[in-house]
Structure formats: C-alpha cells, structure tokens
Chains A and B, each alone.
Chain A
Amino acid sequence: MTQVPQNLKYTDDHEWVRAEADGSVVVGITDHAQHALGELVYVELPDAGRKVARGDAMAVVESTKAASDVYAPLAGEVIEGNPALASQPELVNTDPYGEGWLLRLRPDDAAALAGLKDSAAYSQLLAAEG
C-alpha cells in the first residue's frame, strides 16, 4: 500500500514538502512516484544558491525506465541537495520520506506552503488516478 504520511504537504506532480523549524522546507518525491519510476539509477540535484520559481524543473530522477523532472513545489532558493544520493540513488526507493529526501529550499513565502495538498487531498488524487 502506498504510504502518504499525514505530516507532509504534497503537489499534483507527486513531490512532498516538509516544513522545518528554521523556516526551510525539505522536498522529496512520494512513495507513489518512486514506485511508478522503478529503481532509481541517478539523481541530478541543483546547486546550492539556485533560485527557483514554483513549477520550475529543478531536479531529475532517472530510473531504467525513464528520466523525470522534479518540479519546485514552492518558489525559493536551494539550500542544499541530499549528498547521499550521488552514490546511493536507491535511498529514494527504500526510504522516500526519510533518507531519500532530495533537497532543502528556503521558500520566498512560507505561507505558500498552505496552498499545497494535505495528505487527505493527495490520497484522493492517487485514488482518482487509479
């Protein structure tokens, strides 16, 4: 069964977002997304300091099936990418909401987080996609 943790926010493109105490957010791809992609073989992350607009393609996750863009869920500045993914892209598959996080962002507007889907709405989206 696909996991959809309740403490996270979600996008229609299957990214998750977690608010941190320091005002930054952590971004990853959902359990559903990693399952659909299959085993990842490469993750391309943006450099720290890059400014992204909401919806910008900011990272690439590549499996043996496909290379897919990961879109910025919020406008902001990249603080860091997950350094572990360079040698262990499979962490995204084994622990998508934990060790397999993709990057940290400093959002331009922290309030924009409220505009994303909650876990119930994201679960509904998954159910609708069948």
Chain B
Amino acid sequence: MRREDLIFEQSRPGRRASTHAPATIAAIDDLPASVLREAPPPLPEVSELQVVRHFTRLSQLNFSIDTHFYPLGSCTMKYNPRVSNTLAMLPGFLARHPLEPDSHAQGVLESLFDLQELLKAATGMSGVSLTPMAGAQGEFAGIAMIRAWHLARGDTGRTQIIVPDAAHGTNPATASMCGCEAIEIPTGPDGDVDIDALRRAVGPKTAGIMLTNPSTLGVFERRISEIADIVHAAGGLLYYDGANLNAILGRALPAGMGFDVVHINLHKTFSTPHGGGGPGAGVVAVNSRLEPFLPIPIVGKRDGSYVWLSEADRPQSIGRLSGFMGNTGILLRAYVYMRLLGAEGMRRVSGYATLNANYLSTRLAAAGFTIAYPQRRASHEFIISLKDVARDTGATAMDFAKALLDRGFHAPTTYFPLLVPECLLIEPTETETRQELDAFVQALCEIRDLAFRDVGELKRAPQTTPVRRLDDVRAARQLDLVWHSRSGTVN
C-alpha cells in the first residue's frame, strides 16, 4: 500500500484552493495593528482536490466501528447512531460560546440538566456532575470526592484505596494521583473478589474500594452486597468504575449495590465516538453524602431558569476539572442517545449486549476454544485463553490479534486482564448481527487451523494493513515521538 504523505509534505509554494467567504463574515478591520499577523500562517499550500484525496485516504486507512467489527473488551465499541451527531450539531448548539450568559443558553442548559436527571435514574444516584472530560478524569473526581468526604469529617488517616487485581490499570493509578496507596486484593478461582482477603485488607486506613461490576473478567460480582457491608462497616466508601455499565443498563442500579459514587464513560455506554474519535466524557454520579463535593460546574434550576452552579453554590466542591463545562458536544450526543432509547430501550441494550456475548462465548466453546470462566455466565464480555494453542504451536494471542486484522476484524483486547495467560477479552456489544458474530467465530477457527498448519505464515500477519507488524519492543525502549521530514530536518 502506498504511504500517504503528510499534508505538509505535499505543500508547494503558491498552490491554492479557493473558497468563498460568507457575506455575513464579521469585519475585523477594527482590530489593533499590534495583534495583526505580519505574515500568513505556515499552512500547507495544496489544491482542493489534494485536500479531498488526502483526508479521504486517511479515513480509508482507519480501522473503525463504521467499517469493521470491533470487539475490544471493556471498551464497548458500539455503533454511534448518526442521528445523535445530527441533533447535537444543530446550529443552536454549535453556535454557543462558553462565556455567554446563561440566559442565552437555556436550550443547551436544559438539555444538560435533563441528561443529569437521566443519569441519576440510570444509576440510582442523587447527584451528577457532567464536567469530567474523560474516564480517567471521572475516576480522579470519584476518588477525590471520597478523600474530601473523609477530610471534611476530620478523618485524615484514610489513605488506602482497595483495588482488586482484575481492575483496570487506571484504578491504582487514580488512587495514586489522589495521594492514596493502592492495596491490591486477589480474585478467587470463580472470578469473584476474594472476600476473606478483603476482610483482612480493610481497617482504619481504608478510604474506599474501587470495583468494576461486572468485572473485567466478564462476570457479575455476586457478593457485591457483602462487599459493600464490609467496606462501609470499616468506614470506607465504594467507587463504581462504570467501564462495564453496558451490561446492567436498565436492570441493576449501582446505588442498589451499595456504591457511593459511579463514574460513567458516556463514550462507552451511551455510544458517543471514542477510540481516537473522541473526546470522551467521564461523568460522575453520587449519593447524597457525596453530593456537596461534586466537581463544578453543575447545571441547576433557579426561579424557572437553568443556571451553572459554581463555587458559591457548592462551597465544598472538589473544584473545577476543566476551563469550562466538560465536552458539551459529547454530552449532547449521549443525551440524544438516551432520549431515543428511553427506559425500555436501555433494558434492550443490556439484554442484547449480554445475549451477543453469551452466544459468541458458547459458539467459541463449541468450536474448542478455552473459555477462562466456563462455569460462569458471561456478562457483556468474556475471555478466551489461547494458552493451549500457544503451547502446542507457538502461536500467541498477539499472533491471533494480528491475523484477525487481515480477516476484517479489529482485534479484541489482548493480554488483559493479566490474570489469564494468552487471553483475548471479547466484547461484541448489542449492535452486531448474528451473521457478523458467526463470521468472527469462523475467522478465529481459520486462524487456529493456520497456527497448526503453518505457524510461520501466521506470524507474518498482518499482510493487508497499511503498516505491518510494528516493532513495539523497540518503540518502547527507544521512544521517539518527533516527526522527521524526509529531508531529515525536524519541523
């Protein structure tokens, strides 16, 4: 495949694409001379056709949910309905400016207020802040609120956050970023948290626990109520990592399980673009005890109008996480998605997400693949281990992942969770057809056949992608993020 030159490499002096300035363009002749450019900006000089071809080609290089099945476990790569984009890009939304007065933005504020209410209903919580800009910031906000709650009570010694070993790597990182120590507890052989280890881990230093439910092992934590009782009795709070909320949408409430704070990745569960197409939105929902600490701004209602609540309204807030009010364009897309589905539609989301995962898991088991937790019903995702194939043929989970790309499938999550050797974490989501799932099973069977027949050929995959197998070891050892032009200079 031909390498696509950067648009700057295609630039030639004097080449132009013309455009028509709108008649209504604002006059700028009153700008002071001191702020005017002396030379034009160093933009690439290219024709209109070059621009069209360049960006069309780039889009064709993309492996995306719009072109391929994308069963990336714990990432919930589902279809993003076009109508969410269309409605979120209505001129009345697009033309808003973050510094305009609330009275000029009642429509967008009402939409965001309603979104807060919908998210309360979906989690069972009593307060929501939409401001975290991504999942990691939502996690940070959640643990920062737990810390703030302890400190507000004068309980300064609670500096430990308990994290199961199956957790996302971001959980211990979050604990650390909030000035806490992550205490790891093991998982039992059936995939549930080791309750005895939890009992030993809690104490007067426990600030809280971070749990994903269903866990990254793709199973529902059956003793969640007992876990909540143990942590609460020890004086800690429970944080719900919303990565896998898709599995329980409309069927179980994190509040009902005993959680005090939830972060929700709207870009997963509520189907806004992500995976390079983001940005994300990691909103947080809390029960009444944490509500005063929610990050600001929050949309409130006062005298029949919608207003941004600020420091004056929420003096105990953990503060602001961004310059303005979160990724509003993404929030609006999630709002449209929730309104289109309604409560009944949300139940169907989790129902089909779970059905698709169990169908795929059952078919792969029947085809002879090793399911990591065969005694447990899959939630919305499940794990297969290729340990046996690796032992018999030398073909690894990474080889399977690369070979899937050649067969028109994005690879599942590989080598995570770390508890399961040579694993693929597979999440089909509710938006795939049975035919697509069958084709995926067929592809995995073909790859396994190839592993036994000619493992050397398998290790040459991928052969159809714009770049072949990358040297990720060298990239990690000798990290170089600077672009060098072909003439050797650094631009």
Query: Which A positions have Cβ atoms within 8 angstroms of B?
Result: 36, 39, 41-42, 64-68, 89-90, 130
Contact = CB atoms under 8 A, between A and B. Distances in A.
A41 B476 contact: yes
Contact of A39 (B387, B391, B414, B473): B473
Given A42-B476, A66-B418, A130-B391, 17 more contacts: A36-B421, A39-B473, A41-B473, A41-B476, A41-B477, A42-B477, A64-B472, A64-B473, A64-B476, A65-B414, A65-B415, A66-B415, A67-B169, A68-B418, A89-B477, A90-B477, A130-B387
A42 B472 CA distance: 13
Nearest to A68: B418
Interface in B440-486: 472-473, 476-477
Interface of B: 169, 387, 391, 414-415, 418, 421, 472-473, 476-477
A19 to B, nearest CB: 30
Interface of B is mostly: helix
A67 B172 CA distance: 13
A90 B476 CA distance: 12
Nearest to B472: A64
Contacts of B472: 64
A116 B415 CA distance: 30
A119 to B, nearest CB: 22
A65 B415 CA distance: 6
A66 B420 CA distance: 12
Chain B CB within 10 Å, residue with most, of A36, A42, A66, A68:
A66
Contacts of B387: 130
A42 B474 CA distance: 11
A89 to B, nearest CB: 7
Contacts of A64: 472-473, 476
Contacts of B421: 36
A41 B473 CA distance: 6
Nearest 6 A-B pairs (CB), nearest first?
A: A41-B476, A65-B415, A39-B473, A64-B472, A41-B477, A66-B418
Contacts of B391: 130
A14 to B, nearest CB: 13
20 contacts: A36-B421, A39-B473, A41-B473, A41-B476, A41-B477, A42-B476, A42-B477, A64-B472, A64-B473, A64-B476, A65-B414, A65-B415, A66-B415, A66-B418, A67-B169, A68-B418, A89-B477, A90-B477, A130-B387, A130-B391
A90 B474 CA distance: 11
A57 B476 CA distance: 23
Contacts of B415: 65-66
Contacts of B414: 65
A25 B414 CA distance: 36
